[in-house]
Amino acid sequence: MKDLSVRQSWLLHGGLLAIAVIFPFVFKSSFAVNFGVLALFYAFIGQSWNIAGGFAGQLSFGHVAFFGVGAYASTIVQLRFGMSPWLGLPASALAGGLVGAVIAGLSFRAGLKGSYFALITLAFAEVLRITSNSLEITGGGLGMLIPMKAGISNFQFSERIGFYFVILALTVGSVALAIWLKGSRFGAQLAAIRENEDAAKALGINVFAEKVKILTLSGAMCGMGGSFFAQYFLYIDPSIVFGVDKSVEMLLVSMIGGAGTIYGPLIGAVLLAGLSEYTRALTSIQGLSLVLYGALLVIIIAFLPNGLIDLFKRRKAHISKAGQ
């Protein structure tokens, strides 16, 4: 029975990957491919929040700190030092991971947890936004414009399908990491910390070290998301890459889909990308998307605290029960 369950699980993984691979060849319009890119992008940055907030219970309101640092690290490496933009991906991961380690080390050493930790991450993100707005190397408030030079070597593609497969590869990697965490000793330790830190300490788990590790890993992933964002849109500034809306989006896709689950961020990302495109087409009112995001989050917390994936599980259980 266990072998059957494992086989079904891998069939699910393979089926979803196959659907993702053929999607841009079936839906070839620019709008459809762009939608796919955005959905995968939201899924990737949502998964970066999920492994810390969902798997380890370290709820953050300031994950945009890692995202923004990654976007600037990538762009600075390219524009200021003349290096390949592909090297921006490891540079952004290093920068995001380093900031994650610093924030985690300072916060957890001070004993911050829960809402206090969430607020301190938001404060760090705001400090980084103000700092990037004042430095010459970041372009200050004017931001940084990446010249359009189409070519794979420049991390730029004449068709959006190229970006689609880059973000697909990153998202597949993030899902593989989530699968590994679910079955690893490290993941079990994180689950113990999430449920009860004092009990985890009593079991001999080094709570401080494990929390620093997971926030470093989460920061590195989120930094890579910032690098991709910079290359896709070719422009960054402090208000964009350190904006609170990015943190909300990361948190939202996980909470909507199901925090602490493997595919929760993917489900939430598809819904969020659809909502984002709909509000953009519907009206030009500034901030409307954030209002809708907030309303959606309230509804999810009130009626589906475990996310949409829990609704699917309940439905599956109901069908199985009815068939007996």
For residue 148, the Cα-to-chain-centroid distance in whole angstroms is 26
Asked if pLDDT for residue 323 goes beyond 60, the answer is no
Residue type, 211: K
For residue 15, the Cα-to-chain-centroid distance in whole angstroms is 22
Q: Tell me the pLDDT tens digit for each residue of 126-137.
A: 999 999 999 999
pLDDT of 71 reads: 97
Section 213-233 average pLDDT: 97
Residue in 216, 276, 221 with CA at minimum distance from that of residue 249: 276
Asked if pLDDT for residue 324 goes beyond 70, the answer is no
Number of other residues whose CB lies within 10 A of the CB of residue 263: 20
Provide CB contacts within 8 A for 217, sequence distance 6+. 51, 52, 97, 100, 177
Residue in 186, 170, 161 with CA at minimum distance from that of residue 46: 170
Residue in 38, 49, 96 with CA at minimum distance from that of residue 72: 96
Asked if pLDDT for residue 287 goes beyond 80, the answer is no
Q: Does residue 87 contact residue 146 with C-beta atoms inside 8 Å? A: no
pLDDT of 5 reads: 63
Q: Tell me the pLDDT tens digit for each residue of 187-212.
A: 999 999 999 999 999 999 999 999 99
pLDDT of 307 reads: 80
Residue identified by tokens 């009130």 is 302
Asked if pLDDT for residue 313 goes beyond 70, the answer is no
Average pLDDT of the chain to the nearest whole number = 89
pLDDT of 17 reads: 92
Asked if pLDDT for residue 221 goes beyond 50, the answer is yes
Pair of tokens at residue 203:
């079991």
| Side-chain-facing half-sphere of 128: CA atoms under 13 Å | 30
How would residue 3 be classed by pLDDT, with cut points 50, 70 and 90? very low
Q: Tell me the pLDDT tens digit for each residue of 24-81.
A: 999 989 989 999 999 999 999 999 999 999 999 999 999 999 999 999 999 999 999 9
pLDDT of 192 reads: 96
143-157, 242-256, 277-291: least confidently modelled range: 277-291
How would residue 316 be classed by pLDDT, with cut points 50, 70 and 90? low
Q: Does residue 112 contact residue 58 with C-beta atoms inside 8 Å? A: no
Q: Is 267 exposed, middle or buried (0-12, 13-18, 19+ CB in 10 A)?
A: buried
Distance CA 97, CA 52 (A): 13
Residue in 278, 295, 256, 265 with CA at minimum distance from that of residue 39: 265
Where are the extended beta strands (E) located within 72-118?
none
pLDDT of 9 reads: 76
| Side-chain-facing half-sphere of 41: CA atoms under 13 Å | 24
